[in-house]
Amino acid sequence: MNLNWMAWTKPTAAFFIIIFCMLIVMTIWELRSPGGSPRTGILRFETTRGDRLFVSLLGAAYIHIIWLALFGGALSLWWAFAIACIYALCVFKWV
């Protein structure tokens, strides 16, 4: 299959591989401990693990888009990835 039109870079491939791995881990976690541990965080409404994962992934996408808009190819996407990981940790801890 010819995927040259997609401009796959190592950071892009890593981004999607990590999303896939996160979905697998969350599935295993849900199978072992059903219910998602609902809790109320700083947003003041109840969220589950799946909700927090969704917010993390959505935020990571926006972080990467903003990074590309601001810096283009001048700075490595690994910095955006690091910021997205810190963001995800914060979401899982406080949201």
Q: Where are the domains of the chain?
A: 49-95
Residue-averaged pLDDT of the chain: 87
* pLDDT at site 75: 86
The model's pLDDT over 7-29, given as tens digits with 9 standing for 90+, comes to 777 777 877 888 899 889 989 98
Q: Which pTM value belongs to this model?
A: 0.77
The confidence band for 3, taking pLDDT boundaries of 50, 70 and 90, is low
Structure tokens, 81? 């990835």
Strands 39-40 and 46-47: antiparallel
The confidence band for 1, taking pLDDT boundaries of 50, 70 and 90, is low
Cα distances (Å, whole numbers) of residue 39 to 42, 58, 73, 90: 10, 20, 40, 15
Task: Summarize the confidence of residues 73-81 as an average pLDDT.
Answer: 85
Cα separation, 63 vs 33, whole angstroms? 30
- Please list, residue by residue across 25-45, b when 16 or more beta carbons sit within 10 angstroms of its beta carbon and e when fewer do: eeeeeeeeeeebeeeeeeeee
Q: Which helix (H) or strand (E) holds 32?
A: helix 10-32
